[in-house]
A = this chain, B = another copy of it.
């Protein structure tokens, strides 16, 4: 990376990925214009509002980087890459309806700004467009990988519904839900990028593993931020998961290692609906004392370390810039504040 050593790692990363992110934004502008040509102006407004909302574009970026490691960087790849951002946006449209969330990235959510009907239908439009792009540009193999990931997302949501208020949830149960809900789609970005770039099956699998680790760690940090984040940065209040009885990793690991008294107290705070809100500060202290936060972070760190180690498979002269970005992305996941 030809960037100054004086900037922070995050700044260096942002500079390194800026050209790809610009390509992604431009491709989405162009493609949405084509896809919505002749459509109702309200539909166009809903899609533009929901898609151009300051997202990090992590998913399409990974497609481009994986394709680059496979030594191909044709123009068609970016149109394939944006399918993942559409799908991600479609998921957020529907998630915010399901959660009745009013705010997304510090702005009114699509359902808040345009109503529930617009959010459901707009999500369906983007979902359909994403599959169209994957199927027509990536071929049947890419479509198969993509749909396996989208179906796993739905299944992961059902698993999470089932897991809610199951206070005996194991670490394995948590990781199964995270895999379906988040990580498999990130793995699919890398796998499909590699496939489209002409990589061998072995290389595709190695990159999919990197994506799986990145996605899993991403979700662990997300769940940590729900306890420890700065609302001014994350744009949402802390304590939502606990107050909804969601069994995320800090709680699971704290319960696993707690003394009988601490365990009893945590379960009491969780089981009483009234206690959950007022008891968040106390629960936080008990989780902290039992190393729920520290252990969760350490799980994320090990997963990221393994993901980064896998990249060595690609260590050849022409790949070093791309590997540096993938490594920086993985490290950024651990330190992100929002």
Contacts and interface: CB of A to CB of B under 8 A. Distances in A.
Interface of A: 35, 39-40, 42-43, 94, 97-98, 116-118, 120-122, 124-125, 127-129, 131-132, 134-136, 140, 143-144, 147, 150-151, 154-155, 157-159, 161-162
How many copies make up the complex?
Answer: 2
Nearest to A87: B128
A125 B151 CA distance: 6
Most buried by B among A35, A94, A132: A132
Contact of A117 (B42, B98, B118): B98
A122 to B, nearest CB: 8
Contact of A127 (B122, B127, B161): B127
A94 B151 CA distance: 17
A292 to B, nearest CB: 26
A127 B129 contact: no
Contact of A132 (B121, B143, B162): B143
Contacts of A42: 158, 161-162
Nearest to A120: B94
19 contacts: A40-B155, A40-B158, A40-B162, A42-B158, A97-B120, A98-B116, A98-B121, A118-B158, A124-B154, A125-B150, A125-B151, A127-B127, A128-B131, A128-B147, A128-B150, A128-B154, A129-B147, A131-B132, A135-B143
